[in-house]
Structure 1
Amino acid sequence: MNLDDKVCYCFHVSRRKLVNWVKHNAPKVPSQLSMCGGAGTGCGWCIPFLRQIFRQQAPPAGGCSSCVEVPEDTLDSLTPEEYAALRADYVKAGHGTPPPGATPLLTDGEREPGA
């Protein structure tokens, strides 16, 4: 995924915004990324990816015990379409409920709006 692709579909937060937020705010734990536009507080799909961004951007300081769910390069290896499809599967499986105004779930063969 590129920097301008959305990581949080519920609140329309891009990877670039999250990366810059981490650089400027130096969060101590990954959960603080929720202060960046509410990322991670909707359906919950993006939480492992927020942890990945935290690991990639935050200076090492003893580590984070909850930062081990997603391999370090996962965001880099997914296309925006694959990421959106995985999120749709996650929500359809009952793991989270997007808030009103969230990017709608894609159906088979659809692309993210604007992609």
Structure 2
Amino acid sequence: MQPDDTICYCFHVSKRKIVNYIRVHRPRRASQVSACGGAGTGCGWCIPYLKQYFAEAQGERSESADALTPEEYAAQRAAYIRAGKGVPAQGAIPLPDEASGDEGASAPAGQ
């Protein structure tokens, strides 16, 4: 994942914003990273990644989320949501196939 890639799809929070928030505000607990634009308070998908970035800032070694491409990350989040493990916040970035308008299309007007 690159610095400008989205980590929290519910509240449109980038990796850069999260890493800078941790660096500047020095939260004492990983849960305090949610003060960065609400990250982690929507569907919950990004919480493990927020914890990883927090651990890395504390000097701990952790499995890096950077190995995923943005497309893989989005696809895994979509699978998480479809499995019923979280509900995206209102205004969240749509799931990959919803962005094209394929899913949930309404009937033509007048029907």
| TM surpasses 0.5 | yes
Q: Which residue of 1 aligns with 2:22?
A: 22
Answer yes or no: is 1:36 the counterpart of 2:26.
no
Deviation at 1:73, TM superposition (A): 3.6
Structure 2: where are the runs of 5+ without partners? 101-111
Identity %: 55
TM-score by length of 2: 0.83
Q: How does 1:1-115 map to 2 (within 5 A)?
A: 1-58=1-58, 72-107=62-97
1:30-50 C-alpha deviation (Å, 9 max, x unpaired): 000000000000000000000
TM-score by length of 1: 0.80
Partner SS, residue 7 of structure 2: strand
Letter in 2 for 1:37: G
1:7-52 C-alpha deviation (Å, 9 max, x unpaired): 0000000000000000001111100000000000000000000000
Q: How many matched pairs? A: 99
Quick check: 1:22–1:58 contact (8 Å CA) kept in 2? no
Structure 1: where are the runs of 5+ without partners? 61-70, 111-115
Separation in 2, partners of 1:43, 1:26: 24
Dislocated runs of 4+, deviation >2 Å: 71-74
Partner SS, residue 87 of structure 1: helix
Letter in 2 for 1:91: I
Separation in 2, partners of 1:88, 1:16: 22
Separation in 1, partners of 2:83, 2:43: 12
